Amino acid sequence: MTIESLTSGLHSSMIAWNTQKRHIISQMTEAECISIARRTTYNLRNRSPEVRRYIENAATHRQKFAKLLFTQELFKSDQLSESGVDQYKRMARIADAQKKHHKDTVAFYQNESGYRVCSLAFIANGESVESTEKILCDMEALAAQQNTFDQAVLLDDLLGILIKRASKYPEYDAQAQKRKYEAVLVDYTAIIRTTLEGCTWHDSDLSVASYLEDLHAMQPQLSDSTHAAMLSFSLTRDCFKKLNQDIFEKLADLTTPLIRDNPEFMLQAA
């Protein structure tokens, strides 16, 4: 089942929707849920160009910010020339404004999409979300880890930049900084993995824990601890994306007939 009917392309496997309001939805009448579904659909339509731009450019923005963080480390260590310091300060001011805007955009997208899909699921199930409770609960669990997940992805990018560029600055203690980043990435990976293992594949009897164990078993044993930490996170990140996509598809299966019969619930006007 394509998820286009539910999302019209307004989704990313890197971003989980906040379905926490499913508890509120379960106490509403169908008429109230219809009102919520209409309102959230309208809100998402209205800001969809902004959200789409963020989704399309998120990786590029993250890489730029990771490079800025590396430059910040060089600045703190007095490794920059005077012109380099001035350039860093200008970049930092711009990045701060962009970071706040991106954070607000993602929060809006997560909250409105989550509220919308909970409403649609409730309507589609005839005033009951029992059959989709586990799906919505898993989505909420992923959304609760979104900040940690985003920080881990950024940290992974930063480590990649540090590995490639640090040799250009022999007086910069790259090894000490790398060990700090590595330790945090290991902690983030463990937190995210624990959340993933509490979720369920909805088309397979294999547990998420077993899936991750199998993935790790197929990987080479790396002697470098930093590369090993990055590999472990990479597998965890891919599992997050796969599970998130699985949930999107299941929710699309449930809501497609309703959306098809009610154009007012479509993210793109008919």
What is the model's pLDDT at position 82? 61
**Residue 132 DSSP one-character state:** G
Kindly report the number of other CB atoms within 10 A of residue 131's CB atom: 11
pLDDT of residue 105: 94
Q: What is the pLDDT of residue 248?
A: 95
Buried b (16+ CB within 10 A) or exposed e, 108-124: bbbbbbbbbbbbbbbbb
The confidence score (pLDDT) of residue 39 equals: 97
Sign of the dihedral through C-alpha 53, 57, 59, 62: negative
Spatial contact of 200 and 138, defined as CB atoms under 8 Å apart: yes
* pLDDT computed for residue 165 by the predictor: 82
Q: How far apart (Å, rounded) are the C-alpha atoms in residues 58 and 61?
A: 5
As a three-state string, the secondary structure of 105-171 is HHHHHHHHHHHHHHHHHHHHCCCCCHHHHHHHHHHHHHHHCHHHHHHHHHHHHHHHHHHHHHHHCCC
Are the beta carbons of 252 and 3 closer than 8 angstroms? yes
Say what the pLDDT of residue 269 is: 59
* Amino acid occupying residue 15: I
Q: Dihedral (C-alpha) 62, 65, 69, 74: value to the nearest 10 degrees?
A: 120
The one-character DSSP state at 270 is -
Residues 6+ apart with CB under 8 A from 259: 5, 6, 120, 265, 266
pLDDT tens for the chain, residues 1 to 270: 579 999 999 999 999 999 999 999 989 999 999 999 999 999 999 999 999 999 999 998 888 888 888 888 777 777 666 666 667 666 777 777 778 888 999 999 999 999 999 999 999 987 556 668 889 999 999 999 999 999 999 999 999 988 988 777 777 787 888 899 999 999 999 999 999 999 999 777 889 999 999 998 998 888 889 999 999 999 999 999 999 999 999 999 999 999 999 999 999 854
DSSP state of 58: H
pTM of the entire structure? 0.91
